[in-house]
Amino acid sequence: MTDNIYDITKYGERNNIEFKENLNVDYHLKKDRKQHLASQMKYRMEKGDGEAIYFIGVHDEGHLIGLPESEYDESIFVLESIAIEIGAEILELEKHSAKHGSVAKVRIGKSQKNKKKHLLVGVAGHVDHGKSTLVGTLTTGSLDNGSGQTRIFLDVQKHEIERGLSADLSFAVYGFSNDNPVRVKNPLKKKEKSKLVEECDKVVSFVDTVGHEPWLRTTIRGIVGQKLNYGLLTIAADQGPTHITKEHLGIILAMELPVIVAMTKIDVVTADKVIEVQQKIFDLLKLVGRIPYMIKSIKDADIVAENMNHHIVPVVKVSPVTGEGLDLLDRLFLKLKIPSNGKELKKPFMMYIDKIYSVLGVGTVVSGTIRQGKVKKGDKLRLGPTGTGQFIETSSKSMEMHHYKKDVAETGDVVGISITGLDVADIKRGMILCSPKYPALSVREFEADVAILVHSTTIKSGYECIAHIETIAETMTFEPLDSEYMSAGDTGKIKMTFKYRPCCIREGQKLIFREGRSKGVGTVIRIIK
């Protein structure tokens, strides 16, 4: 093998590269030496966004030496032992021939065995159809008293508890360890949630939305603004599907999410009523081109989870009062596959901001779901765009997911990130927090392909509405491009303009626009610079 083929020099001064001539058991696995090498490996991984590259059989200056087979094998064994010491593993091993034997290029990263699976589920449904009660029961294991007792774990505002109505997004979590459900006695206790996230190998985060019609904006934010894996739609057996049910189902489908339906309150109606509502649910799902599948057993749950896609919709009959059906939902969430984030992880970090806090002793904290890439403590970041289209430099001080402190957060994690140099007043929902390498654009105008769902009159140039893209909810003006006006049922291209401030968007993103109720859906197809 030649230097030109292996080309060590192309790696330059990258800080996650380490050259080792050889590693032997007698010396390098001694306690003090092993600790030193483990610390060195941690440092290299931090500099490489969670990955380090080791060259074995190579001089410190990058000259290829090569090792006899026995020394080569011993060196790889030592390197693997050090990786295990810090919860890492060899992800990739390339072996090549050199003048005096073999050399290796070894890619080391966080152990995939210990990597937590994170499922993000958006919960929607009409007011009083049992969303918060169901989530409260699932995450605590406590049966409800029939009056929404368990929803107190989610309705954290005083007026929400008093009225029994959710008015903002709530987040809840439970998980699985060795395939068994792990719940918390009191989700309002931060330490309990933190411990659960630490101990579980699969974590299920619920984004509980708002069922009351006046807060449709918040519901859309919960479904559109988070990087959800699945939608869970609750339909009460005593009322059946309503116009809000259909609206929420439409939003979930517009975001191209697989959906699960939970028929709640089966304990308060007769068996005949359950059958009647079940048929209405099936008819609704077939109307929108979906295939309903009633889950009656653990075997059914396993079959559906294995074959789950955008077309199949599992339907589960549940009662948070009697506990019926909860084991089937547990099984579904345990077995449901989590889409791979492999490609997204390699991209520069970016997160749309959903909430902004000022925390005593911590400072300014922004939270949201990470759309792509990884972020770690101390990273230099950018935030924006501001009203003038600028991006402000900042950095991450610390991160938490469900109050569990994290050194590194990645695609799909719902996190709060403490940032430097900014006050709450400087930040607005819909801004992004991103790596300096992220190609952030400050956009005023763009073109979109849209479908008008519901509108009593024609839509002409100058029409205004609220458009939702990710966590962005901004007033926009329309200009139809294919015709003079558009009506309900029409599809076509339009130019959309942010009325008050620019936002960071990209081609391919989904959008929902509304004026009170939902009016239409679309996709961004061209940014107008």
- Per-residue model confidence as pLDDT tens digits over 134-151: 999 999 999 987 766 665
Task: Name the nearest CA neighbour of 380 among 359, 397, 355.
Answer: 397
Domains and CATH numbers, the chain: 3-110 (3.30.110), 117-335 (3.40.50.300), 343-434 (2.40.30.10), 445-528 (2.40.30.10)
H-state helical runs in 48-165: 69-85, 131-140, 158-163
Cα–Cα distance for residue pair 331/134, rounded to 1 Å: 15
Residue 290 has pLDDT above 80, yes or no: yes
User: What's the whole-number mean pLDDT along residues 186-205?
Assistant: 85
Q: What share of the chain is helix, strand, coil (3-state, %, to 5)?
A: 30, 35, 35
Please answer whether residues 490 and 453 qualify as being in contact, where contact means their C-beta atoms are separated by less than 8 angstroms.
no
User: What's the whole-number mean pLDDT along residues 440-454?
Assistant: 92
Per-residue model confidence (pLDDT) at position 517: 61
Cα–Cα distance for residue pair 94/96, rounded to 1 Å: 7
Q: Within 10 A of 296 (CB to CB), how many other CB atoms are there?
A: 13
Banded model confidence at residue 92, pLDDT cuts 50, 70, 90: confident
Token pair, residue 392, equals 């402000």
Q: Residue 492, by phi and psi: left (phi above 0), alpha (psi -120 to 50) or beta? A: left
Please answer whether residues 18 and 37 qualify as being in contact, where contact means their C-beta atoms are separated by less than 8 angstroms.
no
Range name among 29-38, 86-95, 502-511 with the lowest pLDDT average: 86-95
Task: Name the nearest CA neighbour of 410 among 115, 200, 194.
Answer: 115
- Per-residue model confidence as pLDDT tens digits over 52-83: 999 999 887 667 888 999 999 999 999 999 99
Per-residue model confidence (pLDDT) at position 157: 42
Residue 115 has pLDDT above 70, yes or no: no
What's this model's pTM, rounded to 2 decimal places?
Answer: 0.71
- Per-residue model confidence as pLDDT tens digits over 301-344: 999 999 998 899 999 999 999 999 999 999 999 999 987 777 88
- Per-residue model confidence as pLDDT tens digits over 384-433: 999 999 999 999 998 998 888 888 899 988 899 999 999 999 999 999 99
Per-residue model confidence (pLDDT) at position 156: 45
Please answer whether residues 250 and 258 qualify as being in contact, where contact means their C-beta atoms are separated by less than 8 angstroms.
no
**Terminal CA-CA length for the chain:** 49
Percent over 90 (pLDDT), the chain: 53
Per-residue model confidence (pLDDT) at position 163: 35
Write the CB contacts of 299 (distance below 8 Å, at least 6 apart in sequence).
none
How high does pLDDT run on average in the chain? 86
